[in-house]
Every structure is written in structure tokens, then in C-alpha cells.
Amino acid sequence: MTIPSPRILIVDDASLVRRYYREALHRAGYDVDEALNGLEALETLLTTPADLLIVDINMPKMDGLTFLRTLRRQAMPLAGIPALVTSTERRATDMDAARAAGANFYLVKPVSQEMLVRTVGLLCGVAGGVPA
């Protein structure tokens, strides 16, 4: 029996960032979906489950912090999806706001592909690598 690869939802309005993350995560064996903002991410999660969210803060329509606060108010299992916030915002107050909104971890952009894959592995519980 094969174990399915963890599914990651990237929520970022920047197409280059989504592509950069998607390529690194695909190479590491993850399944990846994308959303352009928090509103689109909520819609995606209603039909496509995710094991981890990678969320930007500054996005149109619904920013990342509003998305996380909204998600955390939902019924389980949606409310329990771990979230990694990646943002150019680097102040301690930004990181505190992300954690208060429901982020499990925070990385300041630019994020190396190696750091991204390592952090995603830890948050998904597959630090040794995605099963083949």
C-alpha cells in the first residue's frame, strides 16, 4: 500500500513565488495546489483537502491573516490544518500577529527552496522525506 504524498496549498498572489515554491515542493515529492488570495483558498479547501498551507500576508481580496483567522473559526478538520506564513514583513509584531491569527510557523522572504522543503517536512511530519 502506498502512502499518499502530503498535499500543500500555496496561498500567494505572486505567480513567481507560487511557481518557485511549487517547483521545490514537487521535486521533494509533495502534491501542490495554489490559490491567489485567502478567499480563493477558502473555496479551494471546501473541495480539495490540504495537509499544510503556505500563506503570504499581503494579498488582495482577503489577506493572509484574515484568511487564517477565518479558517481557524471553521469546523474541524479545516481549522486544524497547519499553516506556514511566508512574508517580506520581518518585524516581531508581524510575526506575533501571524501567530495570533493561527500560523504555526513564520519564514521571512526570500525563502530558500532548501529551507522551504525542510520546514514543510517538519510541519507535515515527514522530516526524513516524502514516502515514494
Q: What is the pLDDT of residues 69-125, one digit of tens each?
A: 999 998 878 889 999 999 998 999 999 999 999 999 999 999 999 999 999 999 998
Whether 30 contacts 7, CB under 8 Å: yes
What are the distances in angstroms from CA 11 to CA 1, 89, 127?
31, 16, 22
Q: What is the pLDDT of residues 30-76, one digit of tens each?
A: 999 999 999 999 999 999 999 999 999 999 999 999 999 999 998 87
Question: Quick one: pLDDT at residue 31?
Answer: 95
Reported as a pLDDT band with limits 50, 70 and 90, residue 130 is: low
Question: Quick one: pLDDT at residue 127?
Answer: 66
Which residues lie below 8 Å from residue 132, measured CB to CB, with a gap of 6+?
29
Among 41, 46, 47, 44, which Cα is nearest to 69's? 41
All three cell numbers of 3: 502512502
* Cα–chain center distance at 53: 2
Provide mean pLDDT across the span 10-27: 97
Looking at every residue in the chain, the average pLDDT score rounds to 92
7-124 belongs to which CATH class? alpha beta
